Amino acid sequence: MKKFFSNVWRGIQFVQNLIVTLIFFFLVYVFISLINTGGLPIVPEGAALVIAPEGDIVEQRTARDSLAALTGDFNNIPPETLLRDVVGAIRAAAQDKRITVLVLSLDDMRGAGPSKLQYIGTALREFKESGKKIIAYGDSYSQQQYYLAAHADEVYLHPYGSVILTGYGSYPTYYAGALEKIKASVNVFRVGAFKSAVEPYLRDDMSDEAKEANRVLLNDLWGGYLQDVATVRALDAAILENDIGNMPGRLRNAGGDFARLALESKLVDDIKTRDEVRALLIEQVGATDDGASFKSIGMGTYLTATQAAQKKSANRIGVVIARGEILDGEQPAGRIGGDTVARLIRQARENDAVKAVVLRVDSGGGSQFASEIIRRELELTQQAGKPVIASMGSVAASGGYWISASADEIWAAPTTITGSIGIFGILMTFENSLDMIGVHADGVGTTPLSGQGDIRLPLSPFARDIFQQSTENGYRQFINLVAEHRGMTPAEVDKVGQGRVWSGARAKEFGLVDELGYLDHALDAAARRAGLDDYSVIYIEPERTFEERVIDFFFGAAVKSDDIEPKRGPSQSDLLLNYARELMRPLELNDPRGLYTICLECEVR
């Protein structure tokens, strides 16, 4: 039997090595082919640049599982598009005489935070100022998709399509009833009247305090959305909001036809099928050699063709991305490892060419300990004479605010979700669950703390007192940190803290943020503080392994779509899996003291 399994294992290793070898030779073949064809794609003269983002628009792509990819499970990995790729391509095209039209094909775009939409919208407005036209086409438009489409000179919709504007909402899933059924004991320690991150494990509904805070935040975000759309579409924001509120009656008057309703509401300029839009674009920029479509180049191909030619300055500003949940230790891309990000900051500090550091934050927080490891590394960078600027993306709250707090300047978008200055600890024990199936733990220890933290044993009042004191001290550390670096008193921080979440615009009013702006503004601020007249930007990220490079090559590291037909739609099963992951979150968190600064209400949909 031992020999049989040994032979099976050798067979598995042989197949694995064979796959890797075949991939290697294929990559060598591709590399040689690129050399023989001149190495870079050609941008057609007078072409349309097609911006067709897939999946979520993110600051940093989530690491892909190489085993899942090689076994065919890569189809279950949601695609992602880098925000900097979208903005970079649009801005390059604005100055490129070879590009005459920008086409927004948004059907494969799943979502993006409000601040990311605004950042792309800024780039689109700059493109229009260059005198070139933007055309948007969609089978249908979600709220996020429509925000970008609204910036186009011409917005087209399929006859069977729709534009659905739902507003913003925060609807966490609550598990108290389920946890009660399995008799799980949820031990919670928290500080802050609005610190509602643990509510899903204690309640079956949202508390009044959480509703109060969330309503203010959501109204800020929605007001910004309506005003932006109204401005670029020459509409009245109040009328637009009223139209949404009266949709049933207005849809009835339109005969139940969503496309007609969108046209009557002036959300789109015309109703056209895919082939009609394709013919229109052929009239605009000409046809491909085979006459099947319009002359175009996709975003990924365009970036490959143009980025190599960009002039590089000897002066560098290093951008370190902190995206995802903050966890202790080393973590893959898409999660913030305290040790991982600290090492990247250290690399920037020790690189003589890097004159300043911009921390790009897109995180609702996590481990307090890991957050402090990152913040301390930034502080050391400042002590070394290099400016540090925090640039907040869609979310920079709780731990995301902690790591930003001591920066020389904090920049946030008006719709950034930030604040949430609060802290909690959570520990689940399953002694009652095990009792239901006849499993018990018992014994003796040398101190009152012996056995505490074992999920088979209940948490004693002695241990609960210790955990609560530690949590309260963690909150004092948080508000004192903010007070010290923001020129506020602890009482002033506590007044806007208590775990409450704010929009970037309100955070600036309270002194939690220095300026409103996007990544470009933060980069300029870093250059100003470093005394640089010109600079180039480098993203300081973990070096990708050979496996990751192979996966990126085969499974869509860059979006190369160059037509208006979508590839796929979002899977409903992905949402179900996300909700299941939320339930398991307390078991994944790994702060060594069990203290967390996380903003659950930051997950706005």
pLDDT at 22: 62
Give 33's pLDDT tier (boundaries 50, 70, 90): low
Give 558's pLDDT tier (boundaries 50, 70, 90): very low
Q: Minimal CA–CA distance to 263: which of 159, 167, 165, 166?
A: 159
Judged on CB neighbours under 10 Å (0-12, 13-18, 19+), 74 is middle
Give 499's pLDDT tier (boundaries 50, 70, 90): confident
Given a cut of 80, whether residue 595 has pLDDT beyond it is: no
Q: Minimal CA–CA distance to 109: which of 85, 143, 145, 157?
A: 145
Task: Determine how many CB atoms are found less than 10 A away from the CB of residue 361.
Answer: 31
Give the residue, 29 or 344, on which the prediction is more confident.
344
Given a cut of 50, whether residue 557 has pLDDT beyond it is: no
> Helix or strand or coil: residue 554?
helix
- Give how far the C-alpha of residue 392 lies from the chain's centroid of Cα atoms, to the nearest Å: 11
Q: Pull the structure tokens for residue 139.
A: 């089978």
- Average the pLDDT over 182-198 and give the result: 78
- Average the pLDDT over 512-538 and give the result: 96
Query: How open is the CA angle 65-24-347, to the nearest 5 degrees?
Result: 60
Q: Looking at 269-283, 378-392, 481-495, 531-545, which range is the least confident one? A: 531-545
Q: For 469-496, what is each residue's pLDDT tens digit?
A: 988 999 999 999 999 999 999 999 999 9
Task: Determine how many CB atoms are found less than 10 A away from the CB of residue 181.
Answer: 10
Provide the 8-state DSSP code for 289: T
Dmax over CA atoms of the chain, in Å, equals 84
Q: Minimal CA–CA distance to 462: which of 445, 450, 446, 476?
A: 450
Q: Is 398 labeled as catalytic in the residue annotation?
A: yes
Give 567's pLDDT tier (boundaries 50, 70, 90): low
Whose tokens are 């049989």? That residue is 4
Cα–Cα distances in Å, from 414 out to 143, 223, 402?
A: 18, 11, 19
| pTM across the whole model | 0.87
pLDDT at 572: 52
Query: Which stretch, 197-211, 257-271, 553-567, has highest mean pLDDT?
Result: 257-271
Q: Are 53 and 79 in contact (CB under 8 A)?
A: no
Q: Looking at 275-284, 399-408, 460-469, which range is the least confident one? A: 460-469
- Average the pLDDT over 438-465 and give the result: 90
CA 587 to CA 605: how far, in whole Å? 24
CATH class of 316-534+585-602: alpha beta
pLDDT at 23: 66
Given a cut of 60, whether residue 454 has pLDDT beyond it is: yes
Give 208's pLDDT tier (boundaries 50, 70, 90): confident
Q: Minimal CA–CA distance to 229: which of 159, 298, 305, 144?
A: 144
Give 164's pLDDT tier (boundaries 50, 70, 90): very high
- Average the pLDDT over 183-196 and give the result: 77
Whose tokens are 């979006």? That residue is 559
Q: Are 385 and 356 in contact (CB under 8 A)?
A: no
DSSP 432-469: HHHHHTT-------SSTTTTTT-TTSPPPHHHHHHHHH
When the pLDDT of each residue in the chain is averaged and rounded to a whole number, the result is 87
pLDDT at 191: 74
Strand partners, 133: 101
Q: Pull the structure tokens for residue 371.
A: 């957050």
Whose tokens are 């907040």? That residue is 392
pLDDT at 1: 55
**Superfamily of domain covering 44-163+268-310+546-568:** 2-enoyl-CoA Hydratase; Chain A, domain 1 (3.90.226.10)
Which one of the listed residues 116, 195, 272, 508 is annotated catalytic?
A: 195
Given a cut of 80, whether residue 195 has pLDDT beyond it is: no
CA 194 to CA 208: how far, in whole Å? 9
Residues with Cβ within 8 Å of 450's Cβ and at least 6 positions away in sequence, in order, are: 444
Q: Count Cα neighbours of 326 within 13 Å in the Cβ-side half-sphere.
A: 37
Provide the 8-state DSSP code for 314: S
Q: Pull the structure tokens for residue 62.
A: 């989530």
Burial 103-134 (b: 16+ CB within 10 A, else e): bbbbbbbbbbbbbbbbbbbbbbeebbeeebeb
Which one of the listed residues 367, 394, 398, 404 is annotated catalytic?
A: 398
Q: Is 367 labeled as catalytic in the residue annotation?
A: no
Q: Provide φ and ψ at 120, rounded to 5°.
A: -65, -40
Burial 17-51 (b: 16+ CB within 10 A, else e): eeeeeebeeeeeeeeeeeeeeeeebebbeebbbbb
